[in-house]
Amino acid sequence: MEMDRARDKEIRLAIATTVMILGILASAPSSLATTKGLSQIVTPDLQGEGDLSLSLQIQDKRIANPYELQAELGLTKWAEVAVFRGFQPDDWIFGTEIGLLTKEPYLLSAGFVNWSPHLNVDPQPYIETGYYTEHHKVIVGAIHAGYKNEAILGYAYDFNQTWRVQVDFQSGSENSSTIGFTCNLTRDFQFNPALYVSNGPKHDLFGYIVFTYTFHVWGKKESSAVSTK
């Protein structure tokens, strides 16, 4: 019982601290618009070199760990790494992405996601391609999860640098189809709510939202381009 109280206190403290940091950063001057990937699937566009994104992800426990913090860092123009910190259960999850073709409109990337040494979960390798224009983003790929291969599909429409609508799908009865939108409250701070529709026989509905702030750590800044990662 005492351990449960301590765990709940740790979760509340972590979330409160993250919200406070994101709130402070959201009110600060910003330099580059960013739109994170789709709600459920990996996307083939990479994090900008030297860009660090910090996220607070809250979701139905049937999707994944209900409270997660995430850090995503662009190491080079063709490589990025990400780490998730989950609280229920206590977990650390790692992922990476390598850009094989990075010049829009045609994109190709490969990597792995959902590697949890703490819970003995193997990494899930994937490969995907994308066709990206100013407004339309189309994504097709495949991922190896556990003992089977699953399809990845996604589409997003960017109205402008502030608003995006998006849908995505990953095959497998334990996965979902999603519909949601992304809003950039400032050029670096955004939120992305989505509705998950389970692929299972009951097609249950799950809620999801993520808040993200991206800031520049090193490398050459780009003043006009819009990142669509």
Mean pLDDT to the nearest integer, 89-114: 95
Query: What is residue 34's predicted lDDT score, i.e. its pLDDT?
Result: 34
Query: What is residue 33's predicted lDDT score, i.e. its pLDDT?
Result: 31
Instruction: For residue range 122-176, list pLDDT tens digits in order.
Output: 999 999 999 999 999 999 999 999 899 999 999 999 999 999 999 999 999 999 9
Judge whether 148 and 166 are in contact, CB under 8 Å: no
Distance CA 196, CA 176 (A): 6
Query: What is residue 219's predicted lDDT score, i.e. its pLDDT?
Result: 79
Position 85 pLDDT exceeds 50: yes
Query: What is residue 221's predicted lDDT score, i.e. its pLDDT?
Result: 60
pLDDT band at 38; cut points 50, 70, 90: confident
Could you give the 3-state DSSP secondary structure of residue 76? strand
Judge whether 146 and 134 are in contact, CB under 8 Å: no
Position 12 pLDDT exceeds 90: no
The full set of domains in the chain, from first to last, is 2-216 (2.40.160.40)
Q: What is the mean pLDDT of the chain?
A: 85
Distance CA 49, CA 157 (A): 24
Position 23 pLDDT exceeds 50: no
Query: What is residue 50's predicted lDDT score, i.e. its pLDDT?
Result: 95
Position 27 pLDDT exceeds 50: no
Long-range CB contacts (within 8 A, 24+) of 67-75: 67/11, 67/14, 67/15, 68/93, 69/14, 69/18, 70/210, 72/47, 73/47, 73/217, 74/46, 74/47, 74/48, 74/49, 74/50, 75/49
Distance CA 209, CA 60 (A): 10
Tokens of 49: 């070199």
Which of 116, 98, 113 has the alpha carbon at shortest distance from 45? 98
Distance CA 55, CA 45 (A): 18
Query: What is residue 5's predicted lDDT score, i.e. its pLDDT?
Result: 56
How many other β-carbons are positioned within 10 Å of the β-carbon of residue 167? 17
Omega within 30 of 0 (cis) for the link into 201: no
Query: What is residue 10's predicted lDDT score, i.e. its pLDDT?
Result: 52
